[in-house]
């Protein structure tokens, strides 16, 4: 089974990071599902940030900042963790990219778009954080915020998953209400499995998790399957809150 938890094949002079459960990482085969799940959203946002000045809050390893910079004029990746900041600063050096070590609460340079992915569930003061982002945006600016759906993350009936870094996990209506308490225009999309991940989801519903251990193929199957997951195995789409109940993550587009 894939058990490596430290990044592989990093550029010369760039210290590899290890998984902590707090952030996802590229270049760790066992983490590929989560990395691709986040990457597809970064790419979707990047297409809407052409020519803009963007701030990627809580940017972690920096891969998302680099993706945004493929379309944006300038991207600033902000993260307070010293190891992540140093790694990102050394690894992602393309023009238009810079990294600042700071807290999301205190970094306040004006921008056209704020990106804050898979982090609002970690904070004690989510409405205050959203107010801060709103204050940073230039006229016509947009904030993009994602968070996991508690209904597909936590065990059935539980109010929260076992992730020790999560303070609050949201249902669609709760996340929408939070965003609407700060922003006048709120659109919420859901991220869903597609292609082979949807087939895998259907197989699990039909007993796959009971079958593969009995056949003795768990390790070889997932050693092939997990690294083969790509962004095309996820899809973003809109809908009402009931339609979003099966979403993996929510993406709020805030104006």
C-alpha closest to that of 179 among 114, 224, 82, 97: 114
**pLDDT tens, N- to C-terminus, the chain (255 residues):** 456 899 999 999 999 999 988 889 999 999 999 999 999 999 999 999 999 999 999 999 999 999 999 999 999 999 999 999 999 999 999 999 999 999 999 999 999 999 999 999 999 999 999 999 999 999 999 999 999 999 999 998 888 998 899 999 999 999 999 999 999 999 999 999 999 999 999 999 999 989 899 989 999 999 999 999 999 999 999 988 888 999 999 999 999
Count of CA atoms in the C-beta half-sphere (13 A) of 238: 6
Which sequence spans correspond to the domains of the chain?
Answer: 29-193+233-254
Residues in the chain: 255
Integer angstrom CA distances of residue 50 from 11, 72, 155:
28, 5, 39
Place domain 29-193+233-254 in its CATH homologous superfamily: Vaccinia Virus protein VP39 (3.40.50.150)
DSSP three-state, residue 249: strand
């Amino acid at each position: 089974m894939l058990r490596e938890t430290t990044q592989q094949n990093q550029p010369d002079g760039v210290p590899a990071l290890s998984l902590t459960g707090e952030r996802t990482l590229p270049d760790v085969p066992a983490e590929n599902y989560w990395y691709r799940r986040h990457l597809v959203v970064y790419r979707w946002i990047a297409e809407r940030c052409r020519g803009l000045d963007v701030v990627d809050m809580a940017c972690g390893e920096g891969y998302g900042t680099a993706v945004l910079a493929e379309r944006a004029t300038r991207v600033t990746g902000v993260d307070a963790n010293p190891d992540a900041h140093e790694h990102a600063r050394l690894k992602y050096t393309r023009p238009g990219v810079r990294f600042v070590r700071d807290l999301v609460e205190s970094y306040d340079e004006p921008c056209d778009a704020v990106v804050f992915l898979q982090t609002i569930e970690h904070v004690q003061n989510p409405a205050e954080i959203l107010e801060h982002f709103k204050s940073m945006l230039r006229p016509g600016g947009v904030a993009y915020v994602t968070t996991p759906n508690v209904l597909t993350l936590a065990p059935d009936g539980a109010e929260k998953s076992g992730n020790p870094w999560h303070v609050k996990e949201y249902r669609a209506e709760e996340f929408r209400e939070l965003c609407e308490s700060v922003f006048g225009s709120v659109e919420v999309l859901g991220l869903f499995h597609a292609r082979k991940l949807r087939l895998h989801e259907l197989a699990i519903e039909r007993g796959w998790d009971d079958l593969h251990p009995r056949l003795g193929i768990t390790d070889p199957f997932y050693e092939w399957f997990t690294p083969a997951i790509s962004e095309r195995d996820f899809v973003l789409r809109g809908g009402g809150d009931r339609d979003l109940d099966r979403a993996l993550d929510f993406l709020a587009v805030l104006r």
